């Protein structure tokens, strides 16, 4: 009956309760929408980075990682590629050549990373072919083709079918260069990547380097679900422990390849919680005020309840329940509205290009699709309950200090 | 056989220290109230009636003296023990009814029984019986705001009886009521006194209450100045 009484007491002063419920709801909406936006941005950034730039897992020669010297290749071990490709979690494996190079056009030059890829393998691993804005992706019919980012094309003043000269050092250290024809221009949400990554066919780059097409610097592995990254890394470790122990290969997940992404996720999560906590702490003052007023208005009634035999524990519980109900109603209203907003923007996205110029330059898409973060919702409810309990302490203590005789007399006579 | 004394006050003093000048509300009250009494405590405003009732009802403690209820000196009780003692031994009827506005009449009556942890079926049966006894069986589901002052006070009496107390303390219960409601209320209380042998102790100015009382204790300046018994 205490819970029923607390619930009914909540609606005695409907306007006052509605005001604080609305305040809590708006606060929760603010926190959750902000989390949805930030999580969405982070997810898109991470997914784009995995899809376009780093893939889920990379296998390289550990020495290659130290200074990117092209002689440090992976063993020509077909068994490695075949076995990993056979993992059920794996979507595709691309055996790439990965060379630091200089690209020059008729008017300018720029440092680039040239990726020599087998187009049929690469489309299983990278989404670059879906980001072609002019021309087409690499195929076998073209003559020494290259696909460049829009940013690089602009920098080098390149257009479709123009030629660029890629200059690099071959395995013997001799500077060599070759002409490639621009067959496609891509654009991702990361301008810096677009300004540096150039994709060419593996056989063309191998010819330029004077190595066989079986030569590989990097096995880029893309998974069907990037939540399984750690699991697949463990599997590779298990199956190729000897190669790893002998320092022939090193296996890195995207967390290790791009630690900034990982720390960005952690930072965004923490920021969301801090932001929500700040909102809730501010709301706590409103809740305390509302409950204090409720106690002061009901001094006589609480005195009467204590006179009848409502003990201190139950009095405390009553005030606590009222505060928790008040806060939870606000939180639930806020959550329901937030869910609609988050689902809407998760489906249709929000276009921030008008307010966030240059989002691409820092690797973010201008259209952000919210993430509906159910874990955050549950945590929010939990935080609301904790805040409600803390907020209830002061009003409940005030109620407990009432002396029934004077509480009844104060308002009675 | 002489009825048993259920309340005994021994040299009760009460001094309020809330202001700079201490106020002596009670100055040595010795009083015995026996089971089944229908007693009115009367006296002018400020004479100490409510203070005495509060002390008898365990809502306040005397500065000096003892208050023995059912052979137990409640002055020694902690505040938690006092709350529990009140719950099981004392019923209250207040001047301003003091029903819980968000609960129905029936729920108000049941509330005390919930605190006593009595089973639901028993609570419902008792609430119905008491609503019948106070003539409000058709108002069970009405909230206090939907009842007249007299009806609210009758529900308050039913609530006071619901805990099956040893005695009921009623502080100016008729002060806010018209004559008709006062007569109805007093009839109900007198009937309860006869039927259940419930002890009633009133603080009142109301002549109509005094006319029904079997005993009138008059106090003035915190002292008993007369104590009269009536055969009614």
CATH number of B5-229: 3.40.50.300
**Please, which pLDDT band fits residue A344 given cuts at 50, 70 and 90?**
very high
Return all residues near A125 (Cβ < 8 A) that are at least 6 apart: A55, A91, A92, A93, A94, A220, A221, A222
- CB–CB contact B102 A5 (8 Å): yes
In chain B, residues with a C-beta closer than 8 Å to the C-beta of A294 are none
- CB–CB contact A314 B115 (8 Å): yes
Domain closes at, from A189, A214, A248:
A248
User: What digits encode the pLDDT tens for the residues A381-396?
Assistant: 899 999 999 999 999 9
Q: Where are the domains of chain B?
A: 5-229
Tokens of B118: 């009595």
Residue A247: what are its φ and ψ, rounded to 5°?
60, 35
**Pair A202, A343 in one domain:** no
Tokens of B73: 């000196």
* pLDDT number for residue A356: 61
User: What digits encode the pLDDT tens for the residues A70-121?
Assistant: 889 998 876 888 899 999 999 999 999 999 999 999 889 999 999 999 999 9
Is A84 among the domain residues?
Answer: yes
Domain closes at, from A248, A282, A298:
A248
Q: Which of B23, B56, B80, B86 to mutate to test the interface with A (most CBs of A within 10 A)?
A: B86
**Pair A291, A151 in one domain:** no
Is A54 among the domain residues?
Answer: no
- Sheet containing B64-69: order of strands: B23-34, B5-16, B64-69, B72-73
Is A254 among the domain residues?
Answer: no
* pLDDT number for residue A280: 92
- CB–CB contact B100 A5 (8 Å): yes
**Pair A224, A335 in one domain:** no
Its domain, for residue A404, covers 2-49+261-412
pTM of the predicted model as reported, rounded to 2 decimal places: 0.77
In chain B, residues with a C-beta closer than 8 Å to the C-beta of A307 are 57, 59, 86, 92
Measured distance CA(A350)–CA(A382) in Å, rounded: 29
**Pair A219, A137 in one domain:** yes
**Pair A235, A379 in one domain:** no
Mean pLDDT value of segment A309-337: 93
User: What digits encode the pLDDT tens for the residues A232-268?
Assistant: 999 999 999 999 999 999 999 999 998 988 888 889 8
Domain closes at, from A203, A220, A248:
A248
Q: Are the CB atoms for A190 and A165 separated by under 8 Å?
A: no
Please report the ipTM that was assigned to this predicted complex.
0.89
Is A339 among the domain residues?
Answer: yes
Measured distance CA(B182)–CA(B149) in Å, rounded: 10
* pLDDT number for residue B96: 85
**Please, which pLDDT band fits residue A2 given cuts at 50, 70 and 90?**
confident
**Pair A147, A190 in one domain:** yes
Whole-number mean pLDDT of chain B?
Answer: 90
In chain B, residues with a C-beta closer than 8 Å to the C-beta of A411 are 96
**Pair A75, A205 in one domain:** yes
Is A253 among the domain residues?
Answer: no
- Helix and strand totals (H; E) in chain B: 7, 10
* pLDDT number for residue A412: 39
**Pair A314, A234 in one domain:** no
**Pair A273, A173 in one domain:** no
Reply yes or no on whether the pLDDT at A310 is more than 70.
Answer: yes
**Please, which pLDDT band fits residue A137 given cuts at 50, 70 and 90?**
very high
**Pair A177, A323 in one domain:** no
**Residue A112, SS3 per DSSP:** strand
Tokens of A290: 């509302």
Q: Which of B51, B98, B145, B168 to mutate to test the interface with A (most CBs of A within 10 A)?
A: B98
**Pair A244, A282 in one domain:** no
Q: For chain A, how many structural domains are there in total?
A: 2
User: What digits encode the pLDDT tens for the residues B159-173?
Assistant: 999 998 989 999 989
Reply yes or no on whether the pLDDT at B34 is more than 80.
Answer: yes
A12 in contact with chain B, both atoms CB, cutoff 8 A: yes
**Pair A203, A75 in one domain:** yes
Of B230, B220, B226, B225, residue with least CA distance to B25: B220
Reply yes or no on whether the pLDDT at A411 is more than 80.
Answer: no
């Amino acid at each position: 009956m205490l819970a029923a009484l607390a619930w009914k007491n909540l609606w005695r002063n409907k306007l006052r309760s509605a005001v604080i419920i609305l305040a809590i709801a708006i606060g929760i909406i603010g926190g959750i929408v902000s989390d949805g936006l930030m999580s969405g941005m982070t997810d898109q950034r991470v997914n784009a980075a995995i899809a376009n730039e780093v893939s889920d897992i990379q296998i390289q020669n550990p020495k290659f990682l130290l200074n990117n010297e092209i002689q440090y290749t992976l063993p020509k071990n077909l068994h490695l590629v075949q076995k990993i490709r056979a993992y059920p979690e794996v979507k595709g494996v691309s055996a790439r050549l990965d060379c630091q190079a200089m690209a020059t056009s008729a008017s300018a030059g720029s440092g680039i990373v040239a990726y020599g890829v087998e187009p049929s393998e690469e489309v299983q691993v990278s989404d670059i072919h879906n980001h072609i804005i002019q021309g087409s992706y690499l195929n076998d019919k073209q003559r020494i083709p290259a696909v460049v980012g829009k940013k690089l094309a602009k920098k080098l003043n390149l257009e479709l079918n123009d030629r660029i000269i890629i200059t690099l050092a071959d395995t013997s250290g001799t500077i060599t260069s070759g002409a490639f024809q621009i067959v496609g221009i891509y654009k991702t949400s990361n301008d810096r990547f677009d300004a540096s990554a150039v994709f060419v066919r593996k056989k063309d780059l191998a010819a330029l380097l004077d190595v066989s097409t079986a030569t590989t610097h990097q096995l880029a592995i893309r998974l069907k679900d990037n939540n399984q990254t750690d699991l697949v890394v463990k599997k590779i470790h298990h199956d190729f422990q000897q190669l790893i122990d002998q320092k022939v290969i090193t296996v890195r997940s995207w967390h290790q390849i791009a630690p900034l992404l990982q720390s960005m996720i952690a930072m965004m999560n923490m920021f969301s919680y801090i932001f929500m906590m700040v909102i809730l702490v501010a709301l706590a003052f409103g809740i305390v005020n509302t409950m204090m007023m409720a106690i002061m208005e009901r001094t006589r009634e609480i005195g009467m309840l204590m006179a009848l035999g409502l003990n201190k524990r139950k009095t405390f519980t009553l005030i606590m329940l009222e505060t928790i109900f008040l806060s939870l109603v606000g939180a639930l209203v806020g959550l329901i509205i937030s869910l609609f907003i988050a689902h809407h923007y998760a489906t249709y996205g929000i276009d921030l290009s008008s307010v966030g110029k240059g989002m691409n330059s820092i690797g973010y898409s201008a259209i952000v699709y919210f993430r509906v973060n159910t874990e955050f919702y549950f945590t929010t409810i939990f935080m609301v309950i904790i805040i409600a309990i803390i907020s209830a302490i002061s009003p409940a203590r005030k109620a407990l200090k009432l002396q029934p005789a004077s509480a009844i007399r104060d308002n009675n006579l | 056989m002489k009825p048993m004394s259920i309340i005994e006050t021994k040299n009760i003093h009460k001094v309020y220290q809330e202001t700079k000048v201490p106020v002596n509300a009670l100055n040595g009250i010795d009083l015995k109230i026996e089971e089944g009494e229908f007693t009115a405590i009367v006296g002018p405003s400020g004479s100490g009636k409510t203070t005495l009732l509060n002390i008898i009802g365990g809502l306040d403690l005397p500065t000096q003296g003892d208050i023995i209820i059912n052979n137990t000196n409640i002055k020694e009780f902690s505040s938690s023990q006092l709350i529990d003692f009140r719950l099981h031994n004392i019923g209250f009827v207040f001047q301003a009814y003091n029903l819980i506005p968000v609960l129905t009449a029936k729920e108000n009556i049941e509330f005390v029984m919930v605190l006593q942890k009595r089973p639901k079926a028993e609570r419902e049966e008792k609430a119905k019986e008491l609503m019948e006894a106070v003539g409000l069986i058709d108002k069970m589901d009405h909230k206090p705001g939907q009842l007249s002052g007299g009806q609210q006070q009758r529900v308050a009496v039913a609530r006071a009886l619901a805990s099956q107390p040893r005695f009921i303390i009623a502080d100016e219960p008729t002060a806010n009521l018209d004559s008709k409601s006062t007569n109805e209320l007093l009839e109900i209380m007198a009937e309860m006194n006869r039927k259940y042998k419930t002890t009633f102790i009133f603080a009142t100015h109301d002549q109509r209450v005094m006319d029904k009382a079997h005993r009138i204790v008059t106090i003035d300046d915190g002292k008993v100045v007369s104590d009269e018994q009536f055969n009614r």
